[in-house]
Amino acid sequence: MRAGSVALCTVALTLSALVTGPTAQALDEPQPSVSPSVGVTPEPDPTSSPVPTVTSEPEPHAIVPGAVTLEGPAATGQTIRAVAAGWEPDVTLTFQWLRDGVPVEGATSATYTITAADAGAKLSVLVTGAHEGSEPVQVKSVPLTVPVQLPGAMPTITGTAVQGSTLTAVPGAWPAGSTLSYQWLRNGAEISGATRPTYLLTSDDGGQNVSVRITGALAGYLEGVKTSAPVSVLRLMTTSAPTLAGTVKLGSVLTAQPGAWTSGTAFTYQWLRDGAPIAGATRSSYTVGAADVTKSVAVRVSGTKAGYAAATRASIRGVIVPRVLKTAAPSYAGQTVLGEALLGRTGVWTAGTSFRYQWYRNGIAIPTATGLNYKMVSADLGKRLILRVSGSKAGYAPETRLSGGSAAIRRPAPVVWRQNDPRWANIRVGIRLIGPSGCVPTATAMALWSEGIKTTPYGVALTMNRLGDYNRTVSGAGSRSIVAAAKYYGVKATPITNVAALRASLKAGHSVVALMRGPASITWPGTTHAITLSGFSSSGATYVRNPYAGTVNDWYHPDTLWFYQSLDPFDRNAGAVFWQIG
């Protein structure tokens, strides 16, 4: 120290301290120990050298430490935050997170996400406050203990994943005393109300993914949450019991008809005999074999489609394959002539067989011909007949057999009746004897005979007297009696009104009853007489069968006969004098 000067002594103290805890404080800032003198001005020494000017160093700034606290849940996956308070505005803060006092690599932000590695550890944060020209200050938070998450197994799901079925959650191993809760999920979203260990799949689940989330709770642990792997839920397929089409008998083909299933379903088949699969019978159709006789045959149909549960349906009940009936082709005996009968024969069938019969005319069933025997009628003329025999017996497959076809049915050979035949000539019918008055009944009887109706002039005379006008008020009969008799015997009497129609009728093979006034070779002048016409020759003539004895049967041209037709109003009382029979 030089004389006459005042020493200026400045002491700068810098204190750097590590303070732990949120309430920790830095040490007091040091003060200068010597202050300069005040109020003394020394006299200058003219002989001395000038005193140099002394400049002191600036005092360092001591950082006043603030506090740091932790906020946020202490759970794995959660984020906690360091909250710094009470620090000077110009102080720069940095952070370092500590796990059990050891720095966590890379954890240098104000927030920290808790990881599984932190479970059971104490987490804290070290805050460093820095300012230029000052020693840094560090403050550490009170540690936060991270609880251990309750461990548990990954749950599994049992049951058939098909809508309408029940799934069951299997939680696996959890610590003793754990309380488990359940939540079922559809495509990751919670299903309202589905919080039981079991879950009934609904139509909403079809085609979706379903899983279960199990939450475990136990004192001293964080809740453990485990979610199962999802299962894909199959939709229910629309199905129908298959039916069988085809005749159930040995050698026949049965076809499976699946019915109404979901569109796009692919089918497989398995035929069953008395409920057991038939080896190799896996097609949609099946030929009935000898092993199936007296057995029940059914079919089982399986359907598949992507996204749907496979389904199998069997026919509701099988069909019993009947025994085979012994059969024989039917036959018949008799002449194929109108008015005759064909006598059917069944042949030898299994004893006890019941029969049904049906006659066919040119392949068309004759409605009334359902007996074993059949009498031919005018509608059969020129046609061919077949007999069908159907046999049935309990426990046997019904069978049907056909006879061979007949020859074309023909008319019987023409017959010539005489009205004065002694067998009926002297029989009185009405007001006269048949002999002198019976030309119309006799001619009509001959025409009916050609249609297979085996009657006599006497029988026709009785019919005409009862139903027509024969021998009622005048001797003989008009055309009204011809119509009445034809109807009674079941044939048609058709009036012929021109010569062309007469030719056509005769060409077709019909017999015609004609009421004539001549020529003299047929009847004498002044009288009318009935004759029967049939046949048509290559020269265009027809054959006359005259019912009066002593006259000549011969061929006449239709034009001649048309000219000599009766003009008597009584003969025309049905509108014509030429009548086609049949």
Output the domain CATH number for residue 348.
2.60.40
Q: Are residues 120 and 207 in the same domain?
A: no
Q: What is the pLDDT of residue 55?
A: 53
How far apart, in whole angstroms, are the C-alpha atoms of residue 369 and residue 367? 6
Q: Which helix (H) or strand (E) holds 348?
A: none
Q: What is the pLDDT of residue 36?
A: 42
Q: Are residues 523 and 557 in the same domain?
A: yes
Q: Are residues 554 and 516 in the same domain?
A: yes
94 CB contacts (<8 Å, ≥6 apart)?
Answer: 108, 127, 128, 130
Can you name the residues that pair with 70 across neighbouring β-strands?
82
| 56 in Cβ contact with 10 (< 8 Å) | yes
Q: Is residue 126 part of a domain?
A: yes
Q: What is the pLDDT of residue 447?
A: 97
Q: Are residues 439 and 577 in the same domain?
A: yes
| 582 in Cβ contact with 451 (< 8 Å) | yes
Structural domain span for residue 447: 428-581
Q: Is residue 177 part of a domain?
A: yes
Q: Are residues 76 and 200 in the same domain?
A: no
**CATH number for the domain harbouring residue 113:** 2.60.40.2700
Q: Give the number of other CB atoms < 10 A from CB of residue 421.
A: 18
Of the residues 126, 145, 164, which one is the last residue of a structural domain?
145
pLDDT at 372 over 90: yes
Q: What is the pLDDT of residue 138?
A: 93
pTM check: above 0.75: no
Q: Are residues 450 and 571 in the same domain?
A: yes
Q: What is the pLDDT of residue 133?
A: 85
Token digits of residue 419: 């009205």
pLDDT at 275 over 70: yes
Q: What is the pLDDT of residue 3?
A: 37
Q: Which amino acid is at 474?
A: V
Q: Are residues 434 and 569 in the same domain?
A: yes
Q: Are residues 112 and 163 in the same domain?
A: no
Q: What is the pLDDT of residue 552?
A: 78
When mean pLDDT is compared across 138-152, 201-215, 287-301, 336-350, the lowest value belongs to 138-152
- Of the candidates 60, 124, 63, 62, the one whose C-alpha atom is nearest the C-alpha of residue 93 is 63
Q: Is residue 54 part of a domain?
A: no
Mean pLDDT of 415-430: 96
Q: Is residue 79 part of a domain?
A: yes
Of the residues 201, 232, 263, which one is the last residue of a structural domain?
232
Q: Are residues 300 and 348 in the same domain?
A: no
Under the banding of pLDDT at 50, 70 and 90, the label for residue 205 is: very high
Of the residues 98, 114, 145, which one is the last residue of a structural domain?
145
Q: Is residue 409 part of a domain?
A: no
User: pLDDT digit string (tens) for 384-404?
Assistant: 999 999 999 999 999 999 999
Q: What is the pLDDT of residue 146?
A: 87
Q: What is the pLDDT of residue 571?
A: 97
Q: What is the pLDDT of residue 74?
A: 84
Mean pLDDT of 31-52: 47
Q: Is residue 280 part of a domain?
A: yes
User: pLDDT digit string (tens) for 158-179?
Assistant: 999 999 999 999 999 999 999 9
How far apart, in whole angstroms, are the C-alpha atoms of residue 476 and residue 569? 13
Measure CA 462 to chain center: 70
User: pLDDT digit string (tens) for 2-35?
Assistant: 333 333 333 333 323 333 334 333 434 444 443 4
Q: Is residue 62 part of a domain?
A: no
Q: Are residues 536 and 574 in the same domain?
A: yes
Average pLDDT, the chain: 89
Strands 432-433 and 493-495: unpaired
How many domains is the chain built from? 5
How far apart, in whole angstroms, are the C-alpha atoms of residue 258 and residue 241? 7
Q: What is the pLDDT of residue 53?
A: 53
Q: Are residues 311 and 447 in the same domain?
A: no
Q: Are residues 537 and 432 in the same domain?
A: yes
Q: Is residue 237 part of a domain?
A: no
